Amino acid sequence: MDKRQKAILAKFISIIIITIISIVAMINVKSWINHSEAMRAIEHLSQIIIQYKEDYGSVPSETYIHDIKEKLRGYPRLGTLHYRALWIDLESTPDEILAYAEQNYNSWFVKDGFLLIRLDGRVEWMNKQEFKTTLAKQQTQAEVQALKLIK
């Protein structure tokens, strides 16, 4: 191989490596942006729920949430929102999970988990195992059976 062929091969390999690094970086940036937008949407929803609670003294109905959720910025990145107002009663604590959405990413930097709103309006990110344990403690037998019927 002469010098010219070696130079062409070196440039080709460099371009391939830079392309691969760029693709991996773009995938991770996309996941980070999706996570940020989903977080923005659930924080906005939390503010709406808090305002509703202040105005009317209770959490909004599922119909109300369904009507407004598509107007939230970043809503498409939130995914399927599960709203548990039907299972909230007067004995519920502020730590009860009111709404949640599962988030799955193909990223090294953003881990899979759940975005959730607590009854007191706090927004949290929780890993999958911790979420499942927390939700299982809060669910009644009736809620578990109702969810099985839906699936």
Report pLDDT for 149: 72
Q: How many CB atoms lie under 10 A from the CB of residue 3?
A: 7
116 HSE (CA, 13 A, CB side):
21
pLDDT of residue 147: 72
Give the pLDDT of residue 121: 92
Domain boundaries, the chain: 3-150
Amino acid in position 115 = L
What integer pLDDT is reported at residue 125 of this predicted model? 92
Positions of the chain with pLDDT under 50: none
Q: Is 91 exposed, middle or buried (0-12, 13-18, 19+ CB in 10 A)?
A: exposed
C-beta pairs of 85-92 under 8 Å, 24+ apart in sequence: 85/59, 85/60, 85/61, 86/62, 86/143, 87/139, 87/140, 87/142, 87/143, 88/59, 88/119, 92/119
pLDDT of residue 4: 87
CB 99 within 8 A of CB 73: no
Give the per-residue pLDDT at 129: 93
pLDDT for residue 151: 61
Q: What predicted TM-score, i.e. pTM, was given to this entire model? A: 0.79
Give the per-residue pLDDT at 65: 92
